Chains A and B, each alone.
Chain A
Amino acid sequence: DAGITQSPRHKVTETGTPVTLRCHQTENHRYMYWYRQDPGHGLRLIHYSYGVKDTDKGEVSDGYSVSRSKTEDFLLTLESATSSQTSVYFCAISGDTEAFFGQGTRLTVV
């Protein structure tokens, strides 16, 4: 498996609280992505990064922010968690073509 680690793997948080998910890679890949996966919607792109401090919005970016201060780390922050953000979050990395995925973070907002 590609060297991707997501943390935490599971989290339960309360509505209105900030939450940060971390993605760490050991492959030195340029591109990193955050997706969320929900029943009936498949995988949807939240934000992506094409280099250190270079990020852009994906399809479902509202309510999320990201930061990439180092090549190996890509952080996803929910500024004020809402129940609609209950989901499974996947980080992915890629060089120029196929993306490799982490194991996912199951986030529940109560």
Chain B
Amino acid sequence: GESVGLHLPTLSVQEGDNSIINCAYSNSASDYFIWYKQESGKGPQFIIDIRSNMDKRQGQRVTVLLNKTVKHLSLQIAATQPGDSAVYFCAELRGGADGLTFGKGTHLIIQP
């Protein structure tokens, strides 16, 4: 089964509000996590990453939180804008060249 998954298939937020997208993983050996954004008709785009020796990392308007105790990952987007509308995937890398394992994605919908 999936070792990385997202709790909600769709998340609807008001423009200007903060968005929080969640992800659970089951493999304790995973040591690297990434959030991707995928707009319609395009390939996934890297947003932010975090290693397992960290619990928080901030980028421009985005923050990733990692809770290894409960194997939970979240992406926070501040002041959500219409351009943030997309499907967001979390991905885990277990080390080596095995490739990223992706969750099924959350569709973020921005309401005006």
Contact with A along B12-24 (1 / 0, CB 8 A): 0000000000000
Residue from A42, A97, A100 in contact with B93 in the complex, judged by beta carbons closer than 8 Å: A97
Q: Within 8 Å CB of B49, what residues of A?
A: 97-98
Report yes or no: A101 in contact with B43, Cβ–Cβ below 8 A. Answer: yes
Mark the stretch among A43-51, A70-78, A79-87 that contacts chain B: A43-51
Report yes or no: A43 in contact with B89, Cβ–Cβ below 8 A. Answer: yes
Mark the stretch among B53-61, B65-73, B78-86, B97-105 that contacts chain A: B97-105
Report yes or no: B105 in contact with A42, Cβ–Cβ below 8 A. Answer: yes
Whether A98 touches B89, Cβ cut-off 8 Å, given contacts A31-B97, A48-B98, is: no
B34 within 8 A of A: yes
Q: Within 8 Å CB of A45, what residues of B?
A: 99-101
A52 within 8 A of B: no
Task: Return the chain A residue nearest B5 by Cβ.
Answer: A42
Q: Within 8 Å CB of B102, what residues of A?
A: 35, 42-44
Chain A interfacial residues counted at CB < 8 A: 25
Residue from B32, B34, B99, B105 in contact with A33 in the complex, judged by beta carbons closer than 8 Å: B99
Q: How large is the interface on B (under 10, 10 to 19, 20 to 34, 35 or more residues)?
A: 20 to 34
Task: Return the chain A residue nearest B90 by Cβ.
Answer: A42
B28 within 8 A of A: no
Report yes or no: B97 in contact with A97, Cβ–Cβ below 8 A. Answer: no
Report yes or no: B43 in contact with A90, Cβ–Cβ below 8 A. Answer: yes
Whether A48 touches B43, Cβ cut-off 8 Å, given contacts A41-B104, A42-B89, is: no
* Residue positions of A touching B, CB distance < 8 A: 30-31, 33, 35, 40-45, 48, 50, 56, 58-59, 90, 92, 97-104
Question: 30 A-B pairs, CB-CB below 8 angstroms?
Answer: A31-B97, A33-B100, A35-B102, A40-B104, A41-B104, A43-B89, A43-B91, A45-B99, A45-B100, A48-B99, A50-B97, A58-B99, A59-B101, A90-B43, A90-B44, A92-B100, A97-B32, A97-B93, A98-B34, A98-B46, A98-B49, A99-B34, A99-B46, A99-B91, A100-B46, A101-B44, A101-B45, A102-B43, A104-B41, A104-B43
* Residue positions of B touching A, CB distance < 8 A: 32, 34, 36, 41-46, 49, 89, 91, 93, 97-105
